[in-house]
Structure 1
Amino acid sequence: MSLYIGREASKLWKRFCAEIITELNLLAENWKYLLAGIICQYIHGLAARGVHYFHRPGPILQDVGFFLLPELGLDKGYISETVFTFIFLSFFLWTFHPFILKSKKVYTVLVWCRVLAFLVACQILRVITFYSTQLPGPNYHCREGSKLATLPRPDSVHEVLFMNFRGVLYGCGDLIFSSHMIFSLVFVRTYQKYGTRRFIKQCAWLTVVLQSFLIIASRKHYTVDVVVAWYTVNLVVFFIDHKLPEMPDRTGGAALLLPLSKDGRTKEENHKLLNGNSGDPVDWRLRTPVNGKILEDGNNGHADSVMNGV
């Protein structure tokens, strides 16, 4: 028993090291895109803080969502944030699953390049929209009488450029459209395309729908902010995804991304190492996408039949 555990641990460590080499090679080629995407996240944060200086509290606008959904109250506002945190962390951890699991379908670096491209495009539209018209914020700290509803004129550039955590949580004015929905929809659509668990996909979409209702019930956004996010993000992701080059298939591309080792191992052997210890053609066949799409669990038998001409 101990021999079996030790052998499996050794295989896991070898797969992990091989994946590190592969991802470092991809990172060396694509670091500029990742860095640009991260910088744009910071710029988006600055823009959201900047519009807070222009925000003026006023009467809450008439909203059908506020009429239909009961108000959760200030003490239950954490519920929607908890759901969003769950979505964010779940997707983040999933993007690193190739480092430990045999069923490698994606490359972590390439997934984040695509995700950041989607986020940046949506956030550019968001910044243009909420700077065009500032609505009175419906959130509790943005209402009349709250000290956080308006920001005093900044005393220095340092105060504007270096945001604190409190400023991120208690922003006002950046309403149309919801940033939480941008991240959630981009993550779920990415998993919809590259994930393999059909049940998780269904649960992910239900969770995003639930988050939409919770955001409105928490009075963090108007209904229009959520509705606009639903069709804008989906359309942006759809069009950009068709413009970006498709990610290489792990079966055919993994070996090309791995360098030859010093002891003369071939690329084919490195490929076997990256995908576990099998190296069995049947195992490769199960990983091969049909028509360039990632197969979900339960469809592997159909793929075998198609590829064998049956």
Structure 2
Amino acid sequence: MSLYIRREASKLWKRLCAETSTEINLLVENWKYLLAGLIFQYIHGLAARGVHYLHRPGPTLQDVGFFLLPELGHDKAYISETVFTLIFISFVLWTFHPFILKSKKIYTVLVWCRVLAFLVACQILRIITFYSTQLPGPNYHCREGSKLARLPPPNNALEVLLINFPRGVLYGCGDLIFSSHMIFSLVFVRTYHKYGTRRFIKQLAWLTVVIQSLLIVASRKHYTVDVVVAWYTVNLMVFFLEKKLPELPDRSGAAAFLLPVTKDSNKSKEENHKLLNGNSGDPADWRPRIQVNGKIMEDGTTVHVEAVMNGV
């Protein structure tokens, strides 16, 4: 038993080292895209904080979702956040599964470059939208009479630039159309739907996003329009960007070796391509072959097979 554990641990360690080496090479090539995407997450948070200064509390707007869905109440507002946290953590863990599991279909760095591109595009549209029109927030801390509904004027620029986490994120007002939680959830689920391998998990993920949509409205964190706009905007944005972005390399089977990680790997790439096509790396094996009477002959020479007659 102990021998089996040591052998499996050794395989896992080798797999982890090999995957880490590959991902580091990819990170060296793509770190600019990842850094730009992460920086824009801060810019998006900064924009959401800025619109909070412009927010003016007022009567809650008439909303069909508020009539159809029972209000959960302030004490149960954590339910929607719990569902979102589950989606977020599950997706992050899945993107790092190639470091441990044998079945690998994605490269972690390339997936996150793609995901951040989707997020940035959707967040740009979101910033333009909620700065165009500020609606009175339906959330409890955004209503009239709440001390958090309006932010006092900042004393200096540093007060604006330093986002108070998590208070500044959880108690924001004014950044309504469209829902940021839905942006993250839909991008994550669409990415897993395309690159994931478990059909049951895909169906469960979509069901979870639908439940989260209802919980957001039932918690009065957003109007129904914020969720509806997120559903078609995010899906359309991802649909069009996928046509512009290069497709991720396939890691299934022998094709996993075709990713050019370094310059030295180009030779290996050509050799693997030859093997996949049925040729070896030896130029002598590239000679044309002709099939005669069920046999493959080389050098292009034709061999006539005569029938054996009269015992000769």
Instruction: Tell me if structure 1 keeps the 8 A contact 2:179–2:226.
Output: yes
Mapped contact 1:258–1:267 kept (Cα < 8 A): no
Q: Equivalences for 1:1-310 in 2 at 5 Å? A: 1-165=1-165, 166-250=167-251, 251-254=254-257, 256-257=259-260
Equivalent position amino acid for 2:168 in 1: G
Change (3 A) 1:256 1:198: closer
Paired position in structure 1 for 2:285: none
Using the alignment, how far apart are the partners of 1:219 and 1:65 within structure 2?
A: 9
CA distance in 2, matches of 1:37, 1:254: 28
CA–CA distance in 1 between the matches of 2:255 and 2:159? 50
Q: Extract unaligned runs of 5+ from structure 2.
A: 277-312
- Distance in 2 between residues matched to 1:86 and 1:254, nearest whole Å: 34
Aligned to 1:275: none
Q: Report the counterpart of residue 306 of structure 1 in structure 2.
A: none
Q: Secondary structure at the match of 2:54?
A: coil
Local SS of the residue matching 2:197: coil
Q: Greater relative contact order (Cα 8 A, min sep 6): structure 1 or 2?
A: 1
The sequence identity of aligned pairs, in percent, is: 81
2:19 and 2:80 map into 1 onto residues whose CA distance is 35
- Would you say how many aligned residue pairs link Structure 1 and Structure 2? 266
Contact 2:250 2:256 in 1 (8 A): yes
Structure 1, residues 121-155: CA drift from partner, whole Å, max 9, x if none?
A: 00000000000000000000000000000001000
Structure (1 or 2) with the larger CA radius of gyration: 2
Equivalent pair of 1:53/1:152 in contact (CA under 8 Å): yes
SS of the aligned residue for 1:103 comes to coil
Which runs of 5 or more structure 1 residues have no equivalent in the other structure? Answer: 272-280, 282-310
CA RMSD, Structure 1 to Structure 2 (Å): 1.7
Q: CA deviation at 1:242?
A: 1.0
Q: Report the AA paired with residue 181 of structure 2.
A: H
8 Å CA contact 1:259–1:267 kept in 2: the answer is no
Report the AA paired with residue 20 of structure 1: T
Decide whether the 8 Å contact of 1:55 with 1:135 is kept in 2: yes
Deviation at 1:249, TM superposition (A): 1.4
- For residues 252-290 of structure 1, give each alpha carbon's deviation from its aligned partner in whole angstroms, at most 9, with x where no partner exists: 2445445699xxxx959xx9xxxxxxxxx9xxxxxxxxx
CA distance in 1, matches of 2:213, 2:140: 18
Q: Secondary structure of the residue that 1:53 maps to in structure 2?
A: helix
Residue deviations 1:18-67 (CA, integer Å, cap 9, x gap): 00000000000000000000001000000000000000000000000000
How far apart, CA to CA, are the structure 1 residues paired with 2:223 and 2:106?
A: 36
2:178–2:226: 8 Å Cα contact kept in structure 1? yes
Cα distance in 2, alignment partners of residues 257 and 169 from structure 1: 43
CA distance in 2: counterparts of 1:258 and 1:17, whole angstroms: 15
Instruction: Give 2:287's aligned residue.
Output: none
Q: TM-score, normalised by structure 1?
A: 0.83
